[in-house]
Protein backbone atom coordinates (compact mmCIF):
# COMPACT_ATOMS: atom_id res chain seq x y z
CA UNK A 1 0.00 0.00 0.00
CA UNK A 2 1.26 3.44 -0.93
CA UNK A 3 1.22 6.27 1.61
CA UNK A 4 0.30 9.93 1.39
CA UNK A 5 0.74 12.99 3.59
CA UNK A 6 -2.37 15.01 4.45
CA UNK A 7 -1.36 18.49 3.35
CA UNK A 8 1.56 20.13 5.16
CA UNK A 9 0.69 18.51 8.46
CA UNK A 10 3.13 15.65 8.28
CA UNK A 11 0.33 13.16 9.01
CA UNK A 12 1.24 10.07 6.97
CA UNK A 13 -1.60 7.68 6.08
CA UNK A 14 -2.26 4.92 3.58
CA UNK A 15 -3.30 6.22 0.14
CA UNK A 16 -6.72 4.70 0.74
CA UNK A 17 -8.37 4.70 4.14
CA UNK A 18 -11.35 2.72 5.40
CA UNK A 19 -14.64 4.43 6.20
CA UNK A 20 -16.26 2.46 9.01
CA UNK A 21 -19.69 4.14 9.28
CA UNK A 22 -21.50 1.46 7.25
CA UNK A 23 -20.41 -1.18 9.74
CA UNK A 24 -22.86 0.32 12.25
CA UNK A 25 -25.53 2.29 10.37
CA UNK A 26 -26.99 3.81 7.19
CA UNK A 27 -26.89 0.79 4.87
CA UNK A 28 -29.33 -1.54 6.56
CA UNK A 29 -28.87 -3.75 9.65
CA UNK A 30 -25.39 -3.67 11.12
CA UNK A 31 -23.34 -6.81 10.45
CA UNK A 32 -22.01 -8.95 13.28
CA UNK A 33 -19.44 -7.05 15.33
CA UNK A 34 -16.99 -9.94 15.26
CA UNK A 35 -17.10 -10.01 11.46
CA UNK A 36 -16.35 -6.30 11.25
CA UNK A 37 -13.46 -6.60 13.69
CA UNK A 38 -12.04 -9.30 11.43
CA UNK A 39 -12.53 -7.05 8.39
CA UNK A 40 -10.83 -4.05 10.00
CA UNK A 41 -7.87 -6.19 11.00
CA UNK A 42 -7.74 -7.62 7.48
CA UNK A 43 -7.46 -4.04 6.21
CA UNK A 44 -4.49 -3.46 8.51
CA UNK A 45 -2.87 -6.66 7.24
CA UNK A 46 -3.21 -5.30 3.69
CA UNK A 47 -1.55 -1.99 4.49
CA UNK A 48 -4.48 0.28 5.36
CA UNK A 49 -3.47 2.60 8.20
CA UNK A 50 -6.23 5.25 8.12
CA UNK A 51 -9.60 4.50 9.75
CA UNK A 52 -12.60 6.83 9.91
CA UNK A 53 -15.31 6.77 12.57
CA UNK A 54 -17.44 9.20 14.63
CA UNK A 55 -19.30 9.34 17.92
CA UNK A 56 -22.45 9.87 15.87
CA UNK A 57 -22.12 6.56 14.03
CA UNK A 58 -24.36 4.21 15.90
CA UNK A 59 -24.25 6.48 17.89
CA UNK A 60 -21.19 5.39 19.88
CA UNK A 61 -21.12 1.77 18.72
CA UNK A 62 -18.87 2.44 15.73
CA UNK A 63 -16.15 4.01 17.87
CA UNK A 64 -16.35 1.03 20.22
CA UNK A 65 -16.00 -1.35 17.27
CA UNK A 66 -13.04 0.52 15.79
CA UNK A 67 -11.39 0.84 19.18
CA UNK A 68 -11.62 -2.88 19.88
CA UNK A 69 -10.50 -3.87 16.38
CA UNK A 70 -7.45 -1.62 16.36
CA UNK A 71 -6.33 -1.94 19.99
CA UNK A 72 -3.72 -4.63 19.18
CA UNK A 73 -2.13 -2.45 16.45
CA UNK A 74 -2.85 1.01 17.84
CA UNK A 75 0.67 2.27 17.26
CA UNK A 76 0.54 1.37 13.57
CA UNK A 77 -2.66 3.18 12.59
CA UNK A 78 -4.27 6.61 12.39
CA UNK A 79 -7.79 6.92 13.80
CA UNK A 80 -10.04 9.82 12.81
CA UNK A 81 -13.24 10.53 14.71
CA UNK A 82 -15.71 13.40 14.93
CA UNK A 83 -17.67 15.63 17.28
CA UNK A 84 -20.50 18.06 16.69
CA UNK A 85 -23.83 16.25 16.91
CA UNK A 86 -26.14 16.51 19.91
CA UNK A 87 -26.81 13.00 21.23
CA UNK A 88 -29.31 12.15 23.96
CA UNK A 89 -27.32 10.43 26.74
CA UNK A 90 -30.34 8.34 27.77
CA UNK A 91 -31.68 7.12 24.42
CA UNK A 92 -28.26 7.29 22.74
CA UNK A 93 -29.91 8.76 19.67
CA UNK A 94 -29.15 11.94 17.77
CA UNK A 95 -31.50 14.78 18.67
CA UNK A 96 -31.25 16.23 15.18
CA UNK A 97 -29.40 19.28 16.46
CA UNK A 98 -25.74 20.25 16.23
CA UNK A 99 -23.60 20.92 19.28
CA UNK A 100 -20.07 22.30 19.03
CA UNK A 101 -20.06 24.24 22.27
CA UNK A 102 -16.52 24.18 23.69
CA UNK A 103 -17.51 22.31 26.84
CA UNK A 104 -19.32 19.70 24.75
CA UNK A 105 -16.32 19.20 22.45
CA UNK A 106 -14.18 18.47 25.52
CA UNK A 107 -16.75 16.00 26.85
CA UNK A 108 -16.90 14.22 23.51
CA UNK A 109 -13.12 14.00 23.33
CA UNK A 110 -12.94 12.29 26.73
CA UNK A 111 -15.71 9.84 25.84
CA UNK A 112 -14.23 9.08 22.42
CA UNK A 113 -10.82 8.37 23.94
CA UNK A 114 -12.41 5.72 26.16
CA UNK A 115 -14.46 4.13 23.39
CA UNK A 116 -11.46 4.07 21.06
CA UNK A 117 -9.26 2.59 23.78
CA UNK A 118 -6.55 5.14 23.22
CA UNK A 119 -4.86 8.04 24.96
CA UNK A 120 -4.87 10.34 21.93
CA UNK A 121 -7.17 11.02 18.95
CA UNK A 122 -5.08 11.27 15.79
CA UNK A 123 -7.54 13.42 13.82
CA UNK A 124 -10.54 15.14 15.40
CA UNK A 125 -13.08 16.51 12.90
CA UNK A 126 -15.97 18.86 13.49
CA UNK A 127 -18.68 16.70 11.91
CA UNK A 128 -20.80 19.61 10.66
CA UNK A 129 -20.40 23.36 11.05
CA UNK A 130 -22.53 24.66 13.94
CA UNK A 131 -23.74 28.18 13.13
CA UNK A 132 -24.49 28.79 16.81
CA UNK A 133 -20.82 28.53 17.75
CA UNK A 134 -18.15 30.70 16.07
CA UNK A 135 -15.70 28.48 14.21
CA UNK A 136 -12.90 30.33 15.98
CA UNK A 137 -14.19 28.99 19.30
CA UNK A 138 -14.32 25.48 17.89
CA UNK A 139 -10.78 25.70 16.52
CA UNK A 140 -9.57 27.21 19.79
CA UNK A 141 -11.07 24.36 21.79
CA UNK A 142 -9.41 21.72 19.63
CA UNK A 143 -6.18 23.71 19.90
CA UNK A 144 -6.43 23.37 23.68
CA UNK A 145 -6.99 19.61 23.34
CA UNK A 146 -3.92 19.38 21.11
CA UNK A 147 -1.83 21.27 23.65
CA UNK A 148 -3.09 18.89 26.34
CA UNK A 149 -1.95 15.90 24.26
CA UNK A 150 -5.44 14.49 23.83
CA UNK A 151 -5.67 15.25 20.11
CA UNK A 152 -2.98 15.39 17.43
CA UNK A 153 -4.71 16.99 14.43
CA UNK A 154 -7.79 19.13 13.70
CA UNK A 155 -10.20 18.54 10.84
CA UNK A 156 -13.44 19.87 9.39
CA UNK A 157 -16.19 18.00 7.57
CA UNK A 158 -18.46 19.46 4.86
CA UNK A 159 -17.28 23.01 5.64
CA UNK A 160 -17.25 25.93 3.21
CA UNK A 161 -13.95 27.47 2.07
CA UNK A 162 -14.52 30.65 4.10
CA UNK A 163 -15.09 28.60 7.26
CA UNK A 164 -11.97 26.55 6.59
CA UNK A 165 -9.92 29.74 6.31
CA UNK A 166 -11.27 31.17 9.57
CA UNK A 167 -10.63 27.95 11.46
CA UNK A 168 -7.16 27.51 9.98
CA UNK A 169 -6.16 30.98 11.21
CA UNK A 170 -6.72 29.82 14.81
CA UNK A 171 -5.56 26.20 14.64
CA UNK A 172 -4.03 24.72 11.47
CA UNK A 173 -6.50 22.38 9.81
CA UNK A 174 -4.89 19.07 8.81
CA UNK A 175 -7.74 17.67 6.72
CA UNK A 176 -11.13 18.54 5.31
CA UNK A 177 -13.58 15.70 4.73
CA UNK A 178 -16.43 16.09 2.25
CA UNK A 179 -18.27 14.00 -0.28
CA UNK A 180 -16.33 13.92 -3.54
CA UNK A 181 -16.45 11.58 -6.51
CA UNK A 182 -17.08 11.57 -10.23
CA UNK A 183 -20.76 12.22 -9.52
CA UNK A 184 -20.30 14.76 -6.69
CA UNK A 185 -17.76 17.36 -7.70
CA UNK A 186 -18.86 20.34 -5.62
CA UNK A 187 -15.53 20.66 -3.71
CA UNK A 188 -13.69 21.50 -6.93
CA UNK A 189 -15.11 25.03 -7.08
CA UNK A 190 -13.79 26.49 -3.81
CA UNK A 191 -12.85 23.89 -1.20
CA UNK A 192 -10.06 22.10 -3.06
CA UNK A 193 -8.39 25.37 -4.11
CA UNK A 194 -8.52 26.55 -0.48
CA UNK A 195 -6.98 23.29 0.71
CA UNK A 196 -4.23 23.58 -1.88
CA UNK A 197 -3.48 27.17 -0.91
CA UNK A 198 -3.42 26.45 2.83
CA UNK A 199 -1.67 23.08 2.70
CA UNK A 200 -4.63 21.04 3.96
CA UNK A 201 -5.28 17.42 3.06
CA UNK A 202 -8.61 16.38 1.58
CA UNK A 203 -10.49 13.19 2.49
CA UNK A 204 -13.36 12.26 0.14
CA UNK A 205 -16.10 10.25 1.79
CA UNK A 206 -18.57 8.25 -0.28
CA UNK A 207 -15.98 8.11 -3.09
CA UNK A 208 -18.00 5.36 -4.75
CA UNK A 209 -21.26 7.29 -4.67
CA UNK A 210 -22.77 5.20 -1.86
CA UNK A 211 -22.15 2.14 -4.00
CA UNK A 212 -23.63 3.42 -7.25
CA UNK A 213 -20.28 3.86 -9.00
CA UNK A 214 -19.41 0.19 -8.47
CA UNK A 215 -21.88 -0.71 -11.20
CA UNK A 216 -23.70 -3.11 -8.89
CA UNK A 217 -26.82 -0.95 -8.46
CA UNK A 218 -29.52 -0.41 -11.07
CA UNK A 219 -33.20 0.52 -11.24
CA UNK A 220 -34.21 -2.93 -9.99
CA UNK A 221 -32.04 -2.84 -6.88
CA UNK A 222 -33.98 -2.77 -3.61
CA UNK A 223 -32.61 -1.51 -0.32
CA UNK A 224 -33.37 -2.51 3.26
CA UNK A 225 -36.02 -0.26 4.78
CA UNK A 226 -33.39 1.28 7.11
CA UNK A 227 -31.01 2.09 4.24
CA UNK A 228 -30.59 5.86 3.79
CA UNK A 229 -30.57 5.48 0.01
CA UNK A 230 -34.33 5.01 0.17
CA UNK A 231 -34.64 8.72 0.95
CA UNK A 232 -31.76 9.98 -1.17
CA UNK A 233 -33.02 11.93 -4.22
CA UNK A 234 -30.17 10.59 -6.34
CA UNK A 235 -31.33 7.02 -5.73
CA UNK A 236 -34.92 7.26 -6.93
CA UNK A 237 -35.51 4.70 -9.70
CA UNK A 238 -35.80 7.40 -12.37
CA UNK A 239 -32.58 9.10 -11.27
CA UNK A 240 -30.74 5.79 -11.03
CA UNK A 241 -31.77 5.12 -14.62
CA UNK A 242 -30.59 8.55 -15.77
CA UNK A 243 -27.30 8.32 -13.86
CA UNK A 244 -26.50 4.91 -15.30
CA UNK A 245 -24.74 6.75 -18.12
CA UNK A 246 -21.91 7.59 -15.73
CA UNK A 247 -21.54 3.94 -14.74
CA UNK A 248 -21.36 3.02 -18.43
CA UNK A 249 -18.48 5.48 -18.78
CA UNK A 250 -16.70 3.88 -15.83
CA UNK A 251 -17.27 0.43 -17.32
CA UNK A 252 -15.71 1.53 -20.58
CA UNK A 253 -12.62 2.93 -18.85
CA UNK A 254 -12.38 -0.13 -16.62
CA UNK A 255 -12.26 -2.41 -19.66
CA UNK A 256 -9.40 -0.38 -21.11
CA UNK A 257 -7.45 -0.48 -17.86
CA UNK A 258 -8.16 -4.09 -16.90
CA UNK A 259 -9.85 -2.83 -13.73
CA UNK A 260 -13.32 -2.57 -12.20
CA UNK A 261 -15.58 0.51 -12.22
CA UNK A 262 -14.97 0.98 -8.48
CA UNK A 263 -11.21 0.91 -8.99
CA UNK A 264 -11.50 3.47 -11.77
CA UNK A 265 -13.61 5.79 -9.59
CA UNK A 266 -11.08 5.59 -6.73
CA UNK A 267 -8.04 5.89 -9.01
CA UNK A 268 -9.55 9.00 -10.57
CA UNK A 269 -9.76 10.61 -7.13
CA UNK A 270 -6.19 9.62 -6.29
CA UNK A 271 -5.04 11.23 -9.53
CA UNK A 272 -6.62 14.61 -8.72
CA UNK A 273 -4.12 15.68 -6.04
CA UNK A 274 -1.29 13.92 -4.15
CA UNK A 275 -2.86 14.99 -0.84
CA UNK A 276 -6.28 13.44 -1.47
CA UNK A 277 -7.01 10.27 0.52
CA UNK A 278 -10.38 8.60 -0.21
CA UNK A 279 -12.05 6.52 2.50
CA UNK A 280 -14.31 3.98 0.77
CA UNK A 281 -16.39 1.95 3.17
CA UNK A 282 -17.35 -1.70 2.91
CA UNK A 283 -18.44 -4.64 5.03
CA UNK A 284 -17.06 -7.30 2.71
CA UNK A 285 -13.51 -8.57 2.34
CA UNK A 286 -13.63 -8.99 -1.43
CA UNK A 287 -14.77 -5.37 -1.80
CA UNK A 288 -11.98 -4.23 0.50
CA UNK A 289 -9.43 -6.02 -1.66
CA UNK A 290 -11.01 -4.65 -4.83
CA UNK A 291 -10.84 -1.09 -3.49
CA UNK A 292 -7.22 -1.46 -2.42
CA UNK A 293 -6.41 -2.54 -5.97
CA UNK A 294 -7.27 0.98 -7.15
CA UNK A 295 -3.81 2.21 -6.11
CA UNK A 296 -2.39 0.19 -9.02
CA UNK A 297 -4.58 1.84 -11.67
CA UNK A 298 -2.58 4.61 -13.34
CA UNK A 299 -4.00 7.41 -15.49
CA UNK A 300 -1.95 9.53 -17.86
CA UNK A 301 -2.74 13.27 -18.18
CA UNK A 302 -4.38 12.38 -21.49
CA UNK A 303 -6.55 9.75 -19.80
CA UNK A 304 -7.71 12.29 -17.22
CA UNK A 305 -8.56 14.86 -19.88
CA UNK A 306 -10.65 12.30 -21.74
CA UNK A 307 -12.47 11.24 -18.57
CA UNK A 308 -13.23 14.83 -17.61
CA UNK A 309 -14.46 15.65 -21.12
CA UNK A 310 -16.76 12.63 -21.14
CA UNK A 311 -18.01 13.18 -17.58
CA UNK A 312 -18.74 16.85 -18.31
CA UNK A 313 -21.35 15.74 -20.84
CA UNK A 314 -23.24 13.72 -18.23
CA UNK A 315 -25.65 15.78 -16.08
CA UNK A 316 -26.09 14.00 -12.76
CA UNK A 317 -29.73 13.76 -11.72
CA UNK A 318 -30.92 14.24 -8.12
CA UNK A 319 -29.45 15.90 -5.04
CA UNK A 320 -26.80 13.85 -3.24
CA UNK A 321 -28.59 14.08 0.11
CA UNK A 322 -32.11 14.79 1.38
CA UNK A 323 -32.79 18.52 1.76
CA UNK A 324 -32.84 18.39 5.58
CA UNK A 325 -29.33 16.90 5.63
CA UNK A 326 -28.00 18.97 2.75
CA UNK A 327 -28.76 22.24 4.52
CA UNK A 328 -26.18 21.33 7.18
CA UNK A 329 -23.38 21.15 4.64
CA UNK A 330 -21.21 23.78 2.96
CA UNK A 331 -21.55 26.31 5.80
**Catalytic sites, residue numbers:** 57
pLDDT for position 90? 86
The span from the CA of 70 to the CA of 294, in Å, is 24
* Domain residue spans of the chain: 3-326
Interval 151-171: pLDDT, tens: 999 999 999 999 999 999 999
Question: Is 86 exposed, middle or buried (CB count within 10 Å of its CB: 0-12, 13-18, 19+)?
Answer: middle
Interval 266-291: pLDDT, tens: 999 999 999 999 999 999 999 999 99
Domain spanning 3-326: which CATH class is it, in words? Answer: alpha beta
The span from the CA of 145 to the CA of 260, in Å, is 42
Mean pLDDT of 213-224: 94
The span from the CA of 100 to the CA of 118, in Å, is 22
- Residue 123 pairs in a beta bridge with 80, 153
Provide the pLDDT confidence category of residue 220 given band limits of 50, 70 and 90.
Answer: very high
The span from the CA of 121 to the CA of 114, in Å, is 10
Mean pLDDT (the chain, rounded): 97
Residue 315 has pLDDT above 90, yes or no: yes
pTM for this prediction: 0.97
Provide the pLDDT confidence category of residue 96 given band limits of 50, 70 and 90.
Answer: confident
Cβ contact 282:288 at 8 Å:
yes
- Bond prior to 59 in cis (omega within 30° of 0): yes
pLDDT for position 33? 96
Amino acid sequence: MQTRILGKSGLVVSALGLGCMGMSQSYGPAPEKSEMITLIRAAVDRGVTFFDTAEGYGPFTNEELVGEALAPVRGQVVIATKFGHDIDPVTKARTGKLNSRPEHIKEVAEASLKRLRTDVIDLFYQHRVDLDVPIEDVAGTVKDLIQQGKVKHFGLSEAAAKTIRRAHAVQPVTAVQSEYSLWTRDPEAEVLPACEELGIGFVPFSPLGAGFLTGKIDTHTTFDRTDFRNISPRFTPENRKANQVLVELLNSIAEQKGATPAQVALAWLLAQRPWIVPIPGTTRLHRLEENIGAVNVVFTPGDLREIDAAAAKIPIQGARLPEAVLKLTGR
